[in-house]
Amino acid sequence: MKKHFFKIAMSLLLVGSLFFTNSAKAQVEKGSILIEPYYGLLSTGKALLTAYNQTGTSTSSSSMGPAGLRFSYMINEKVGLGFDGNYQSMSFEYTDGTYNYTVSRDVMRFMINAHFIFLNEDSFQLFGNVGTGYRDASWKFTSDDPNYVEDTLSGFIPVAFRLTAGAKYMFTDNIGAFVELSIGGGSYTNGGLTIAL
């Protein structure tokens, strides 16, 4: 999945650079629309899978995301309003020597988002986001053990929250890339593209 996301991101960057001007100025103004696909680079779920795999009991594990998309409509040069949605999954399989057991978790988040630009100099921006909204998380427990009772649990708190701070570099007036640190929302660091319209 990471390879597919990288290919899509690079394709968008290439196509965008063909259609838009090459003068790289980060000119965000009132009425601009920012479209930002991103991918979480470090999350609690990935850290748990890594720690569990080091115990030697897991036969396989996988994780994806969060992969997300954020839209912002700039109401002035410094503040934008929009929404942020992402999806994240992880699973691991282990065995007791006879039967296999699988634990999987899927999370979807949909948040109203406020985008703040603190510094906008030439091609470089410092920005932040704050968002809150709905979170749907579920755990699924399965096994090939005929006596095992499979189960699904829903998340206890259906509220999503995200606070970010990041840096963005615009390659052209319309295409850029960013990295950000995050509290909540699925990951601690994100990287992605910015398409400014």
Q: Which residues are CB-contacts of 138 (< 8 A; sequence separation ≥ 6)?
A: 105, 106, 107, 152, 153, 154, 155
pTM: 0.81
Is 60 exceeded by the pLDDT of residue 21? no
Q: How confident is the model at residue 94 (pLDDT cuts 50, 70, 90)?
A: confident
What is the rounded CA–CA span in Å between residue 9 and residue 194?
A: 10
**What does the pLDDT average to over 80-96?**
92
Higher local confidence (pLDDT), 47 or 135: 135
| pLDDT at residue 154, rounded to an integer | 87
Is 50 exceeded by the pLDDT of residue 19? no
pLDDT digits 0-9 by tens, 157-190: 899 999 999 999 999 989 999 999 999 988 999 9
